């Protein structure tokens, strides 16, 4: 059997316009040489190719790693929720019925990312649920808004808060009252992931649940005030705020209330769900934890059953590559730093936290720095590479996979120069891994899960360039480096991330599972 290393350069695509292309601007001689000299192609990493509603929808690391890890296309995130809302199935669920019942006796709270980025949430899902809540007799609703600026333009928060205020004004009356109660930037409060920084969740808890924090009369006032006080701040980094009237918070969460987290993506929803659901909770002091009915939009972790209640069932992903390789007795190794660790494990294995085999699968996490990633754009790529080199030389593993987060995590900061630095650090690691793969007869494949660093600027409505922090709709590379054989890739314009599983399996010397999308090899 051959040995294969698959490298995922998170957030590294091919620019179509050249505008804000930090990938090309960086000095990346190793990546350039691989693209020039090795068999390679371009993969679709967004839209319908990864199970999203349309090709206007950006890909993301979660659905990207699902597709890479299972070789198939499943309805994902927004598409799942869209289908459930369109059919009314979501409102027939016991979870929705219980939330409404609590809401009739107390208040119904919605917490979530307020944008139409379709990566973590969609504001239109919130609007539909607000309409249904009024229709079913809920009287008091509070909305706790997390500002995006990451999957949508960096300073677009007022677009979404204005739209929400308009919707609430439309619905209010006839005994129904809804308002914004609290909020803050998604990278400041609430939406931590992989237990990297519980203080973010604690700040969110204090803001949403306890109504503690700086008070404003409206979300608009809060956003405009912070922008005037913090020059250059983008939405994701805005501090927390509480809406209050005469010093009284508009929407503390209290005993008997219901809370719905309307984000559909799992990684940044798990920790808040644990804070609401878990009786044994050691991560921070929840003070007076209210007795509420809590639900998520989806089940964010199927193995750990987080949350206990959810509105829409996630896709049941079967026939994953890892499961297939375990059945074939193939030793596997997965590594990344904290920020993307779950992507090469949980999402890769079809939204499962556990392993298919403790004996045949090894997962390694390198702790991420707790700083803004533009301050250390090299992140932990050197440490990941050190570990990979060590295990490649040991020769135990047949299939190895890793994720280098630089292009994505630094890309989300909007700092072009930092992204260039991050890409150059990543390229040094590619050179080191290429050398050790040569020495140990390992086939090296290089790909990405979506674009980001390739499109750091965009034109605004006034025709001026502005910082872009969202993922791109650009294709991503798939490269094969094998010193012993020049593999041929069948030409096609239709390849997506789901074609990688079968391709890797063939490179290992095995026959791909027939349910997968076909291999790209001739």
Rounded Cα gap, residues 184 and 212, in angstroms: 12
Beta bridge partners of 505: none
Which is catalytic among the residues 15, 54, 61, 115? 61
Determine contact, residues 59/294, Cβ cutoff 8 Å: no
E strands in 83-228: 108-113, 140-147, 177-185, 215-216
**Upstream peptide bond of 307 is cis (omega within 30 degrees of 0):** yes
CA pseudo-torsion sign 7, 8, 10, 13: positive
Residues contacting 347, CB < 8 A, separation 6+: 61, 62, 65, 66, 69, 267
Cβ count near 316 (within 10 Å): 9
DSSP 347: I
CA pseudo-torsion sign 341, 50, 59, 419: positive
Tokens of 79: 């598409």
Tokens of 457: 């600027």
Determine contact, residues 133/259, Cβ cutoff 8 Å: no
Catalytic site includes residue 519:
no
Which helix H or strand E contains 258, and what residues bound it?
strand 258-261
- SS3 category, 68: helix
- SS3 category, 177: strand
Rounded Cα gap, residues 137 and 150, in angstroms: 35
Residues contacting 216, CB < 8 A, separation 6+: 222, 225, 241, 242, 243, 244
Whose tokens are 């069948």? That residue is 490
Q: Which residues are catalytic?
A: 61
């Amino acid at each position: 059997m051959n040995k294969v290393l698959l490298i995922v350069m998170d957030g590294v695509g091919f620019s179509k316009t050249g505008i804000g292309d930090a990938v090309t601007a960086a000095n990346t001689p190793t990546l350039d040489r691989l693209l020039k000299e090795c068999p390679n192609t371009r993969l679709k990493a967004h839209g319908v190719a990864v199970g999203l509603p349309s090709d206007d929808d950006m890909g993301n690391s979660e659905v990207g790693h699902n597709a890479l890890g299972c070789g198939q296309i499943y309805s994902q995130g927004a598409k799942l929720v869209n289908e459930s809302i369109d059919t009314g199935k979501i409102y027939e669920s016991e979870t929705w019925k219980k939330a409404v019942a609590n809401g009739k006796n107390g208040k119904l709270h919605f917490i979530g990312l307020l944008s139409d980025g379709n990566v973590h949430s969609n504001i239109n899902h919130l609007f539909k649920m607000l309409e249904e809540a009024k229709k079913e007799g809920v009287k008091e609703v509070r909305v706790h808004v997390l500002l995006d600026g990451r999957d949508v333009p960096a300073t677009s928060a007022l677009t979404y808060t204005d739209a929400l205020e308009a919707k609430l004004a439309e619905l209010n009356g006839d005994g129904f009252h809804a308002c914004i109660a609290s909020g803050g930037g998604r990278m400041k409060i609430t939406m931590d992931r992989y237990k990297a920084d519980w203080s973010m969740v604690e700040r969110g808890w204090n803001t949403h649940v306890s109504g503690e924090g700086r008070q404003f009369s409206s979300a608009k006032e809060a956003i405009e005030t912070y922008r005037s006080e913090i020059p250059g701040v983008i939405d994701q980094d805005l501090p927390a705020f509480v809406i209050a009237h005469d010093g009284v918070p508009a929407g503390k969460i209290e005993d008997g209330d219901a809370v719905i987290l309307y984000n559909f993506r799992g990684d940044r929803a798990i920790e808040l769900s644990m804070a609401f659901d878990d009786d044994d909770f050691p991560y921070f002091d929840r003070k007076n934890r209210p007795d509420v009915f809590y639900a998520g939009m989806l089940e964010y972790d199927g193995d750990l059953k987080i949350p206990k209640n959810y509105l829409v069932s996630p896709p049941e992903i079967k026939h994953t590559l890892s499961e297939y390789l375990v059945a074939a007795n193939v030793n596997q190794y997965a590594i990344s730093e904290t920020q993307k660790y779950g992507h090469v494990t949980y999402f890769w294995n079809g939204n499962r936290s556990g392993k298919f085999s403790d004996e045949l699968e090894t997962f390694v996490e390198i702790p991420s720095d707790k700083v803004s990633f533009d301050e250390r754009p090299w992140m932990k790529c050197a440490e990941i590479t050190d570990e990979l080199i060590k295990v490649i030389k040991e020769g135990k593993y047949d299939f190895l996979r890793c994720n280098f987060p630089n292009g994505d995590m630094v890309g989300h900061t909007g700092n072009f120069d930092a992204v260039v630095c991050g890409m150059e650090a990543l390229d040094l690691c590619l050179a080191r891994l290429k050398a050790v793969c040569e020495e140990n007869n390992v086939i090296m494949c290089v790909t990405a899960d979506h674009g980001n660093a390739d499109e750091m600027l965009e034109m605004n409505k006034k025709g001026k360039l502005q910082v872009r922090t969202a993922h791109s709709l650009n294709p991503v590379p798939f490269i094969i480096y094998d010193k012993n054989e020049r593999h041929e890739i069948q030409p096609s314009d239709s390849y997506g991330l789901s074609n990688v599983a079968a391709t890797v399996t063939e490179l290992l010397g095995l026959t791909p599972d027939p349910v997968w999308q076909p291999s790209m090899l001739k």
